[in-house]
Every structure is written in structure tokens, then in C-alpha cells.
């Protein structure tokens, strides 16, 4: 067997031995599914969701059409499954930072933003497919995308509750303010990915952190981010 990558967004095993290999059925099925998820992600990033066909996915996954339909009913189901794997990976990067809090809550916010942007930048196909192309995949896909943004907004609201006594300009805010701030951050990242390669996404961290802090009514913290650029 040939190892491909330890990334959850890429197949852990790319090729299996031909013929009677004696491998467990679960291993073979798992490898096929991983390759299909990777295939739909890469095909969508390259061709756009609307023009991507099942044949395009098969070409990049290296599996048969029969195998595809053993795992998924159609292209959308495969796409949504791939989105879930990617979403889980991005959120894992966020929680890895949250689980080791910094003394300064603003630096904590910036560290979370950087971790998320870095995780997305490390997976260019995921970035293009699920930040840009997902909006053309229909209402269920768009709802999945918005649900991810809502989860991040909830985390932002929890973070904001840690600020009393740490920043003199702090004042309580409604959850909708966090939703608006996260929407602005998401728009900045998505607009960037429409125009530029994903590997430069981390450079947006100061702009995104500034926008969040300013929209949450923390002008002094926002000015400090701008001054540190």
C-alpha cells in the first residue's frame, strides 16, 4: 500500500495492492471513500461545482463508477460528505488553540484566527471548493456553510464574555453582533479566495482580527492590532 498523506482531507492510503490482497473489506471501503471525498474536492476546486461531473470525480479519485454509487447516491451527497470532513478538520485546528488559552484574550483571538486561516491555506482545494464553490451547490450546501459560520460566531460570543475587566472599553453585546463580525470575517476570506491562491490567506489575519474587534465595539484593541502591522 502507498501512503498518501496524514491530512484528514487527503487519502491516508492512495493505492491498494491489485488482485487478491487479503485486506479487510473495511480498509478497502474506507480507502475508496477517502479517495472519492478528495476527488470531489479537487474536481470542484478545478472545474467549479456546477460543471463538475461524477466522471470528473472518478478520474481524480481513481475508482470505478460502481464504487462511487456504493458510497454515494449522487455528486451532492459526496460533496457534502467532503465538506463535513473539511469542516471537522478546520474546527479541530480552532479547538487546539482554544484548549491552550493565552493570558491576553485579544492575543487568544488572533491565535485562533491564525490557526483557522493556516488550516484553510494548507488545503487549497478545500479552500476553493468550500469557501467559493459551495454557494453554487444548492440550499443544503449553503446551509451547511452558514452553520459553520454560526458555530464560529458562538465561539466568538463565548470569547467576548472573557473580556470584562481586561479591556476598559468592554460592554456587553448581543449574540447577533458576533454573527455580524463573523460574517464580515468570512466575507473577507471568501473574497480573497475568489481572486488569489489560498497560500496567502494567512496574511489576512490582522485585517480579520481588526474587523472583528472593531465590530464588537473594542476600538482600542482594534487600533493596537493595526499599529502592530
- In the chain, where the domains are located: 2-75, 103-227
Q: Which residues pair with 15 in a beta bridge?
A: 2
Judged on CB neighbours under 10 Å (0-12, 13-18, 19+), 226 is middle
Residue 18 in grid coordinates: 491489485
Residue 160 in grid coordinates: 467576548
Q: What is the pLDDT of residues 78-87, one digit of tens each?
A: 999 999 999 9
**Strand 13-15 to 2-3 pairing:** antiparallel
Contact of 40 with 68, CB cutoff 8 Å: no
pTM for this structure? 0.86
Instruction: Give pLDDT, residue 58.
Output: 96
Is the CATH code 3.30.70 the one for domain 2-75? no
Kindly state the percentage of the chain with pLDDT values over 90: 76
Instruction: Give pLDDT, residue 6.
Output: 52
Q: How far is CA 147 from CA 31, 141, 152, 182, 207, in A?
A: 28, 10, 9, 12, 23
> Which residues neighbour 227 within 8 Å (Cβ) at sequence distance 6 or greater?
none
Instruction: Give pLDDT, residue 2.
Output: 42
Who has greater pLDDT, 70 or 20?
Answer: 70
Instruction: Give pLDDT, residue 8.
Output: 62
Instruction: Give pLDDT, residue 4.
Output: 46
Q: What is the pLDDT of residues 32-60, one digit of tens each?
A: 899 999 999 999 999 999 999 999 999 99
Amino acid at each position: 500500500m502507498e501512503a498518501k498523506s496524514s491530512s484528514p482531507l487527503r487519502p491516508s492510503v492512495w493505492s491498494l495492492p491489485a488482485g487478491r490482497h487479503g485486506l479487510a473489506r473495511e480498509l478497502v471501503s474506507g480507502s475508496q471513500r477517502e479517495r472519492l471525498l478528495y476527488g470531489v474536492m479537487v474536481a470542484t476546486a478545478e472545474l467549479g461545482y456546477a460543471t463538475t461531473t461524477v466522471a470528473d470525480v472518478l478520474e481524480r479519485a481513481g475508482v470505478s463508477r460502481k464504487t462511487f454509487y456504493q458510497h454515494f447516491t449522487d455528486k451532492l451527497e459526496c460533496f457534502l460528505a467532503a465538506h463535513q470532513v473539511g469542516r471537522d478538520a478546520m474546527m479541530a485546528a480552532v479547538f487546539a488553540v482554544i484548549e491552550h488559552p493565552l493570558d491576553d484574550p485579544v492575543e487568544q483571538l488572533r491565535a485562533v484566527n491564525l490557526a483557522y486561516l493556516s488550516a484553510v491555506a494548507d488545503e487549497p482545494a478545500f479552500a476553493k471548493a468550500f469557501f467559493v464553490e459551495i454557494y453554487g451547490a444548492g440550499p443544503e450546501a449553503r446551509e451547511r456553510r452558514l452553520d459553520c459560520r454560526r458555530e464560529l460566531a458562538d465561539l466568538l460570543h463565548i470569547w467576548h464574555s472573557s473580556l470584562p475587566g481586561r479591556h476598559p472599553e468592554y460592554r456587553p453585546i448581543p449574540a447577533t453582533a458576533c454573527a455580524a463580525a463573523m460574517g464580515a470575517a468570512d466575507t473577507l476570506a471568501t473574497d480573497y479566495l475568489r481572486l488569489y491562491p489560498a497560500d496567502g490567506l494567512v496574511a489576512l489575519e490582522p485585517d480579520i482580527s481588526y474587523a472583528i474587534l472593531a465590530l464588537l465595539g473594542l476600538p482600542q484593541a482594534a487600533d493596537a492590532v493595526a499599529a502592530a502591522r
